[in-house]
Amino acid sequence: MASLYGKKIYHRDLSWLRFNHRVLQEAADKRNPLYERIKFLAIFSSNLDEFFRVRVSDIRQIKALDKPLRKKLISKPNKVLKEIKKQVDIQQNEFGEIFQNEIIPQLAKEGIHLIRQEDFSSHQKEIATQYYEEQLKAITKVSCNPCTEKDSVFVKNERLYLAAKTGEDTFTMVEIPDSEPRFFVFPKEESNSFYVTFIDDILRYNLQKQFDNTDTDEVKFHSIKISRDAELYIEDEFSGNLMQKIKNALPKRDTGQATRVLIDPEMPQDFREILKKVLDVNHTDVVLGGRYHNFKDFMKFPNPTSKQLENEKLPPLPHPVLSNCNSIFEAIDKKDQLLHYPYQSFDPVIKLMEEAATDPQVTTIKMTIYRAADESKLNDAIALAAKNGKDVTIFIEVKARFDEQNNLKWGAIFKENGARVIYSYPDIKVHSKILYIEKETNGKSKRYAYIATGNFNENTAKLYTDFGLMTAHKKITKDLKKVFLVLERELIVPKTKRLLVSPFTARERFTALVENEIALANAGKKGIITLKMNSLQDKGMIQELYKASNAGVEVRLLIRGICSLVPGIEGQSENIYITSIVDRFLEHGRIYIFGNDGDEQIYIGSADWMTRNLTHRIEVITPILDETHKKTISDLIDLQLQDNIKARIVDAKQQNKYVQNTNPKVQSQLATYSYFKDEILN
C-alpha cells in the first residue's frame, strides 16, 4: 500500500475517510446525548453521499484519461477505488452496529420505539393503511418495468426507491415521496411509549399487501439509492456567459453518471443482477447499505417525549464591545475588533452592513460571497445599500458546489437593487471572505475591512467555528482595496504589504515564515509552528514542514479533515504532532502561528494548505496585529491543544485514537464558550 499510504504522503481521499470515521466515533461515543449520537450518524451519511458524488466521480473521470496525463493527476486510480470501497464497507458495518445495537435499544429505553412494518400491531396496521390511502398513495410514483432491457430505468440522484420483482419478467420501482416527513409517529397508545416508523415501511406494508393479492410469489420490497456525479463539466473559457452556463448545467446533477448504487443487503442476488442490467451499472458501483438509506434525514428525527435528549444549548454570546456600541464604525476606529463564531454572535457583521447601508458618509461597499444563506438579513442590507445609491460591488462565486442556485438567486436580487455583480472567473475560484467599505468624512476618505475564515452566512455562523477581523488599519485596508481591483479586472497582481493573497503571495510568504523558524532552530533558538486548518494536502507545504521537523522546529498541527502529512516518522516528521477535534461545532477556522523568537506572528484567513487554496483560488490571509487579540487566539489554541476529550491523535496510520492523559479534563469547545462568557462577566 506504499502508493496510498506512502512514508512521505498519506492519500487525501483515504485521509478524508479517516476524518469521516471520526464523525462516526461521535455517534459511537456514549458520553454524547442520544439525539446528538443520532445527528452524527446523519452527518456521517450526508458526508459519505457527497464524497461519492464528488471525489469518487473525479477519480472515475481520471480513469478515462490517457495514461500519461492520468499519472500526473493520480497514481493507480483502480487501486484507490478498491481501497475506498474496502474502507467504506468497514465503516458501513460499524455504522449498522451502532444503529442497530446501540441507538435503537437506547431509544427504546427512553420510550421511543423505532419499528418496522413486521412489528406493526393490528391497530398500527390500520393507521398505516389510512395514512397511505389519505397521504401517500396519490404522491407515490409506482412503475412496472421489464427485467431484460438494459438502461431502461432511470433512478434520480439521491432519491429513495423501493424495488421488488413482481412478475416473471417484470419488476416494480417505487419512488418514496420527499414531500412528506421521513418519519411517522403513531398516535400514542401506552402511557410511556411512543412508536415511530419510516414512511418507507408504511409503503412496504401497503405495497406488499397490494401485491399479495395477485398470483405472484411472496413480494418483498428492498431499498435502493443512487449517488450521481456532482460535477457540472462546464467549459471554463473566458468566452460566453459562465453564469448562464452554470444555470443551464445544474439539472445535469440529477442525470450524471452513477458513482454509487446503495442497495438493501437482503435483496436476492438474482434481483441484484437484474437491477444492475436495467440501471446500466457494474459490480464496482454497487455498495451494500442497510435496509434504509438517506440517514441524513435523522437530523429531523422526532422526539415525541418531553425528555431532554440533546446537548444543552450554547446560545451565541454578545460581543463585549460590538454588541453594545452605538456605531460599529466608531468601535473599529478605536481598535481592531475580533469576533469568534459561534461562541459570539454574528449580529455585529449584520449590524455593520446595515449601518453602512444607511450611513450617508459611506460611499463604497465591496464584498465577496461564496456560500450565502437562503434567507439573510446581511444580504438584505447589501441590497438596501445598493438601493440607497451606494457604489456596491459584489463578487459572487457561483461555482461554489451545491450553492450555485442560491448564489445566483442573490446575485439577481443585488443586481435588481442597483449593485454591480461580478460572477465567477474561469479557472479559479474566489474563496476569500472579505468586505471593504469606504467612508467620506470632511473630504477625506477612510477605509474599513472585514476579513474572516468563514462565510457571510448567518446559518453556518451558528454551527462552524470561525474568526472575523474588523479593522481600519491603513496598510491592511489598502491591500484589500488592491484585491478587489484584481477581482474587478483593473489590476493583474496585487502588490500587498500586509495581506497574504493566493495565488499571488500566500505560498511564498508561508514558505518564508516556515524557513524563518528553521533558521532560528539552526541558530540554536526555539523554532515553533502551530497551525489550525480544515485540511493539509499540498505537497510543497508538507515538504516545508518536514524540513522544519528535521531542523528541530516544534510543529503542532490541529487538522479537522484531510491530512496528507505523515507524522512521527524518524528522519521525516518526528517533531510533528497532530490532533483532530470533532465535537458539537464544526472546526472551520484557519489560524497560522509562527514563534518568531518570541515575537509571535499570527495570521487568520480562508486558506487551507491544499494545492487548490494556494494555487487555484483567491484567498486572503490577514495578520493579527493587536496584542490583546493575539493573546485571545493563543489562549484558544492552547485550549484546543489541551483537549483530551474530543481530540484524536492523527498518527502515521490515522487510527483515530482519542487523546488520553492524566491532565485535567479539557473539552475545548465548552472551555472556549466559558472563556468568552467569563470575558463578559469580567
**Residue among 101, 180, 15, 99 nearest 542 (CA):** 15
Residue located via cell numbers 420505539? 113
Contact status, residue 350 vs residue 375, Cβ threshold 8 Å: no
| Cα distance between residue 553 and residue 92, in whole Å | 40
Return all residues near 620 (Cβ < 8 A) that are at least 6 apart. 432, 433, 434, 451, 480, 483, 499, 500, 501, 502, 605, 606
Q: C-alpha grid cell for residue 99? A: 444503529
Please choose, from the candidates 344, 283, 290, the residue with its C-alpha nearest in 3D space to the C-alpha of residue 585.
Answer: 344
Contact call for residues 417 and 411 (beta carbons, < 8 A):
no
**Which candidate, 652, 582, 588, places its Cα nearest to that of 25?**
582
Which amino acid, residue 58? D
* Strand intervals (E) in 519-608: 528-533, 554-559, 576-581, 586-587, 590-594, 601-605
Percent helix, percent strand, percent coil in the chain, to nearest 5? 40, 25, 35
What pairs with residue 592 in β-bridges?
531, 603
Q: Which three cell numbers stand for residue 650?
A: 492523527
List of long-range contacts for 141-145, beta carbons under 8 Å, 24+ apart: 141/174, 141/175, 141/177, 142/172, 142/173, 142/174, 142/175, 142/207, 143/172, 143/173, 143/174, 144/170, 144/171, 144/172, 145/170, 145/171, 145/172, 145/173, 145/278
Query: What ranges in 562-667 are assigned the alpha helix state H?
Result: 611-615, 627-642
Active site residue 431: yes
Which candidate in 340, 431, 588, 629 is catalytic?
431
Sole residue written with cell 486558506 = 607
How many Å apart are CA 215 and CA 8, to the nearest integer? 63
Give the catalytic positions in this structure: 431
